[in-house]
Amino acid sequence: MCKEIKFIQLNGAPTKVITWGKSLGEKFYSDDHKELILVIPGNPGVTQLYEPFLDNLYAQLQKPIWIVGHSGHEKPEDFDTTQKETPFNFTLEAQINHKKTFIETYIPKDIKIHLVGHSVGAFSSLKLLEDESIKNRIKKTYFMFPTIEHLGKSKNGLFMTRIIKPIVPIILFLAWIFTLLPALIQIFCIHIYLFVTGIEKHHLDAIVKFVDPFILRNIFQMAYDQIRDATKRPDDKLMKHKDILQCYYAEIDNWVPRKSPKNLMATLPQLDVEISKDGEHCFVLYQSKEMADIVVNWFR
């Protein structure tokens, strides 16, 4: 498999990018392949969690696929998190501008983009479509389990604001303690967590890496920014982009108010909306292959 994993400097911060089929900077020669699938992850924006899903997707489609992580959600081994000043702002707005810069800098102008946004990645994708220069390059936009409205009223949104937010300093302190443990103990603890939750075992390394106070702080920053910003559903924007938009919801999704998907279908029947009975919001942890098969069907 033609896959490359690297960190690039983007808007002053190290950013992890994984590519399949075409590397950053590589030319697209054939007109038949002047298309690219660009994936914007959810939160946490840990690209390593998406690898099994995208390995499966590339194996079936054989189309170039790139995923760009959220800055501050993954870091190179030599990254110094003790700096008092960082060159990057880890807010949601900054993360959206970060993706805009990536598209403008790394994707050739003549390449048509299939934009795939998961969770907050869908919220970010909708914001990117407001830029006409980017929208004109988008062939299709796919929202997977989108969190674009009333996030603070969802079951997990309420839990995050009422229970987690007051104890974030304690969580960050415990994460710092975790990083001081010997590697074998860290791995043992995560093994237990995977066993209890049923998460796929190959995610062990990714989860060990993001239990880090620097990374968790940025994850919480992005989450609370979106809870603040994802309020009223942007019907005008959804209708404006309806011809290139496809939405995929789960019937039960603790990050989306229960009635939102069916309400969306009833209010905006012109939109392409699908509701899955057994879909899982955090599909990268439990349903990588199953979700890849669904996305392949969208393309075919």
pLDDT digits (tens, 9 = 90+) for 85-106: 555 678 999 999 999 999 999 9
Asked if residue 32 has pLDDT above 80, the reply is no
Residue 299, C-beta contacts closer than 8 angstroms, at least 6 positions apart: 61, 63, 114
Q: Rounded to whole angstroms, what are the CA distances from 173 to 176, 218, 247, 294?
A: 5, 14, 38, 40
Task: Read off the pLDDT of residues 207-241 as tens digits, 9 standing for 90 and up.
Answer: 998 899 999 999 999 999 999 999 999 999 999 99
Count of beta carbons in the 10 Å neighbourhood of residue 285: 18
Phi-psi label, residue 25: left if phi above 0, alpha if psi -120 to 50, beta otherwise: left
CA count, 13 A, side-chain hemisphere, 26: 17
Query: What is the pLDDT, as a whole number, of residue 82?
Result: 61
Query: What is the pLDDT, as a whole number, of residue 234?
Result: 94
CB distance 92 to 229 below 8 Å: yes
Instruction: Report the percentage of the chain scoring pLDDT > 70.
Output: 95
Q: CATH topology for 3-151+232-299? A: Rossmann fold (3.40.50)
Q: Assign 34 a pLDDT band (cuts: 50, 70, 90).
A: confident
Asked if residue 33 has pLDDT above 80, the reply is no
Query: What is the pLDDT, as a whole number, of residue 1?
Result: 61
Asked if residue 72 has pLDDT above 60, the reply is yes
Q: Assign 201 a pLDDT band (cuts: 50, 70, 90).
A: confident
In whole angstroms, what is the distance from residue 276 CA to residue 258 CA?
13
Count of beta carbons in the 10 Å neighbourhood of residue 265: 15
Query: What is the pLDDT, as a whole number, of residue 13?
Result: 87
Mean pLDDT across the chain: 92
Asked if residue 84 has pLDDT above 60, the reply is no
**Token couple for 23:** 């590397």
- In the chain, domain spans: 3-151+232-299
Q: Rounded to whole angstroms, what are the CA distances from 30 to 33, 58, 139?
A: 5, 18, 17
Q: Assign 12 a pLDDT band (cuts: 50, 70, 90).
A: confident
